[in-house]
Amino acid sequence: SDLQLKDPSLLVEAAYVAGAWVEATDENAINVTNPATGAVIGRVPNLGAAETDAAIEAAAEAMKAWAQRTAKDRAQVLRRWHDLMMEHQDDLGTILTAEQGKPLAEAKGEIAYSASFLEWFSEEARRAYGDITPGHAPDKRLLTLKQPIGVVAAITPWNFPSAMITRKAGPAFAAGCAMVLKPAIQTPLSATALALLGERAGLPKGLFSVVTGSAGAIGGALTSSKTVRKLTFTGSTEIGALLYEQCAPTIKKLGLELGGNAPFIVFDDADVDAAVEGAVIAKFRNNGQTCVCANRIYVQAGVYDEFAEKLAAKVATLATGNGFDEGITFGPLIDDAAVAKVKEHVEDATSKGASVALGGEAHDLGGLFYQPTILTDVTSDMLVTIEETFGPVAPLFKFDKESEAVEAANDTDFGLASYFYSRDLARVWRVSEALDFGMVGVNTGLISTAEAPFGGVKMSGLGREGSRYGLEDFMETKYVCMGGI
Ligand code: ADP
């Protein structure tokens, strides 16, 4: 590979199954490509059900001793893993940009964000408190214990190839669980690099496996296993629903972080310049490919023209290109299907009367590049309103009344992130409470952090990641009734 790494051993072209590295061979390999250039940057083995079953068995075995260790002991391993990630931040960022496309500065930012979950959960590990409750009889005492849920299966997407893993692995290992991970096939090299650093940090063999290959075969083995007690998944609502169904026969716990359709509302009383800044981040980060990206931008009539002009002027100054080049804000989209979806959404909107204020076409760079796009005169019957575009398209809606904006914002099957800008205190409370979403950003376009609970309502998912609630989701509550006292 041509990647310039300070520690070339971090480019790991092997899966990590039951504590052993399984290399790709010429007969059994999946190539990993750079979406900016199409160049092959590495390969991983194409594994399936047999390797997944072996990983699950090793996980159950390794978990026995891991769960018995003190929380402090587990915390120290997680902390070392965090430290190693930060020590190798540049290399991990390089691998991430190479396989995912996001600008290098953003990729390094993701590595720090990703490592922060290991740090946070290393700290939370020691706070897994139970309770002693006053009993119902003089001779009884009621105890509540928190215990690791068991072997965890994790399935992660390509848009945050590192952070979506640590946000699950951090709490799982902190709680005393073991984990078998299937990373997205577009971005397995961030996962295998993480596994290598985990091994160096002292994760016991078998506790963490990374199985690369066929989604259907690996997913089927993970979901049908009786040993696996929890599935934690980040991806589309469609696949989340399928996995939900596959987990029903074995009654697994589920953590599902699914699609969103985030509204971004700008009220007349907002600081418009701040709202423009926030919209650029909320809409265009990762080229629009995050599940918390603003998908629908509602602007009150009094500031609509000003906001639209300033947003277009700002976005027009930002550069599109290869994420390794200086000064790039917009990388390529992940694959042909992503580009096709963006094209479909823009064509659908313009055919139904939307106007293009900026962009609106494939980029001159060709390949997987698309122009950052702003659409005005958007209406509720357009695909950009109904579905998550997952690309650099900002559709603008004009509204008059607060209630109208809230109603439109809530008029979706999804409920992950939402954003609004206002300086009126009473409105801030009213709208925060009225938005039917798991997360609300008020006067900010950036809300995700290890300290806060990330998650959605409605068809956006189940459970919360990060925060103390994120640890809770990897533990069972056991009740012990002590009598004869
Ligand atoms: P995206 O549109 O972001 O690629 P997906 O839901 O298709 O979202 O993918 C998220 C993750 O789910 C990836 O790791 C993908 O390989 C995995 N996946 C896709 N289909 C299946 C399946 N049938 N069973 C298990 N995992 C799957």
Atom 3 in ligand 1: residue holding the nearest Cα? 235
Name which residue sits closest to atom 13 of ligand 1, judged by CA.
184
Mutate-to-test residue for ligand 1 from 30, 47, 99, 155, highest number of ligand atoms within 8 A of CB: 155
Ligand 1 atom having least distance to the Cα of 239: 6
Ligand 1 midpoint to CA 241 (Å) = 11
The answer to whether the CB of 441 falls within 8 A of the CB of 417 is yes
- Looking at residue 1, its pLDDT comes to 58
Of 366, 436, 443, 386, residue with least CA distance to 406: 436
- Amino acid at residue number 279: A
Which secondary structure element, helix H or strand E, spans residue 421, and what is its range? strand 417-421
Cα–Cα dist 219/247, whole Å: 10
User: Which amino acid belongs to residue 24?
Assistant: A
What is the number of the ligand 1 atom nearest to the C-alpha of 236? 6
Task: Ligand 1, residue 185: give the atom nearest the CA.
Answer: 16
Atom 25 in ligand 1: which residue has the minimum CA distance?
219
Beta pairing, strands 457-458 & 414-415? antiparallel
pLDDT at position 99 is 98
The CA 284 to ligand 1 mean position distance, Å, reads 23
Ordered DSSP codes for 58-122: HHHHHHHHHHHS-HHHHHHHHHHHHHHHHHTHHHHHHHHHHHH---HHHHHHHHHHHHHHHHHHH
pTM score, two decimals?
0.97
C-alpha–C-alpha distance, residues 205 and 20, integer Å? 8
Q: Which residue has the tokens 């190539």?
A: 31
What's the rounded Cα separation, in Å, for the pair 341 and 231? 28
Q: Which atom of ligand 1 is nearest to the CA of 184?
A: 14
Residues ≥6 apart with Cβ < 8 Å to 225 = 53, 56, 151, 153, 250
Instruction: State the DSSP string of 175-227.
Output: HT--EEEE--TTSHHHHHHHHHHHHHHTPPTTSEEE--B-HHHHHHHHHH-SS
For helices 163-175 and 188-201, give the axis angle rounded to 10 degrees: 30
b vs e for 105-143, b when ≥16 Cβ sit within 10 Å of the residue's Cβ?
A: ebbbbbbbbbbbbbbbbbebbeebeeeeeeeeeeeeeee
Predicted pLDDT at 420: 98
Burial of 427 (C-beta count, 10 Å sphere; 0-12/13-18/19+):
middle
Burial-class residue 184 by CB neighbours within 10 Å (0-12, 13-18, 19+).
buried
CA of 138 to the centre of ligand 1 (A): 54
Among residues 464, 466, 37, 462, the alpha carbon closest in space to that of 254 is found at: 462
Residue with tokens 């945050």: 160
d(CA 240, ligand 1 centre) in Å: 8
Kind of pairing between the strands at 328-330 and 319-320: parallel
Q: Tell me how far apart the alpha carbons of residues 61 and 207 are, in angstroms, rounded to a whole number.
A: 8
Test site for ligand 1: of 233, 239, 243, 293, most ligand atoms within 8 A of the Cβ: 239
Closest residue by CA, ligand 1 atom 2 = 236
- CA-nearest residue, atom 17 of ligand 1: 215
319 CA to centre of ligand 1 in angstroms: 30
Gap from CA of 156 to ligand 1 centroid (Å): 7
Find out whether 295 and 263 touch, Cβ atoms under 8 Å. yes
Q: CB within 6 Å of ligand 1 — which residues?
A: 155-157, 182, 184-185, 215-216, 219, 235-236, 239, 242
Q: Which amino acid is at 312?
A: A
Residue ID of nearest Cα to ligand 1 atom 22: 216
- CB-CB neighbours of 361 under 10 Å: 11
In ligand 1, which atom is closest to the CA atom of 182? Answer: 14
Residues whose CB falls within 8 Å of the CB of residue 78, separated by 6 or more in sequence, listed in order: 118, 119, 121, 122, 125, 170, 173, 174, 201
Q: Residue 72 and residue 85: Cα distance in Å, rounded?
A: 20
Q: Tell me how far the alpha carbon of residue 143 lies from the centroid of ligand 1, in angstroms.
A: 40
Spot the catalytic one: 51, 61, 124, 257: 257
Q: Which residues pair with 465 in a beta bridge?
A: 454
Neighbours of 476 (CB within 10 A): 14
Q: Bridge-partner residues for 154, per DSSP?
A: 181, 232
Which H/E stretch holds residue 355?
Answer: strand 355-358
| Residue 2, pLDDT score | 77
Calculated CA dihedral for residues 359, 360, 365, 366, nearest 10 degrees: 180
Residue whose Cα lies nearest atom 18 of ligand 1: it is 215
H/E run at residue 243: helix 237-247
**d(C-alpha 336, C-alpha 338), whole Å:** 5
List the pLDDT tens digit at each of the 485 positions of the chain.
Answer: 579 999 999 999 999 999 999 999 999 999 999 999 999 999 999 999 999 999 999 999 999 999 999 999 999 999 999 999 999 999 999 999 999 999 999 999 999 999 999 999 999 999 999 999 988 999 999 999 999 999 999 999 999 999 999 999 999 999 999 999 999 999 999 999 999 999 999 999 999 999 999 999 999 999 999 999 999 999 999 999 999 999 999 999 999 999 999 999 999 999 999 999 999 999 999 999 999 999 999 999 999 999 999 999 999 999 999 999 999 999 999 999 999 999 999 999 999 999 999 999 999 999 999 999 999 999 999 999 999 999 999 999 999 999 999 999 999 999 999 999 999 999 999 999 999 999 999 999 999 999 999 999 999 999 999 999 999 999 999 999 999 99
- 339 vs 408: CA distance, rounded Å: 27
240 CA: nearest ligand 1 atom = 6
**pLDDT at residue number 114:** 98
Residue nearest to atom 9 of ligand 1 (CA): 235
CA 33 to chain centre: 21
218 CA: nearest ligand 1 atom:
25
- Ligand 1 centroid – CA 179 distance (Å): 18
For residue 110, indicate whether it is catalytic. Answer: no
Residue of minimum CA distance from atom 27 in ligand 1:
215
- First-to-last alpha carbon distance for the chain, in angstroms, is 68
**Amino acid letter for position 205:** K
Q: Which two tokens stand for residue 406?
A: 């809230």
Distance from the alpha carbon of residue 302 to the mean position of ligand 1, in angstroms? 43
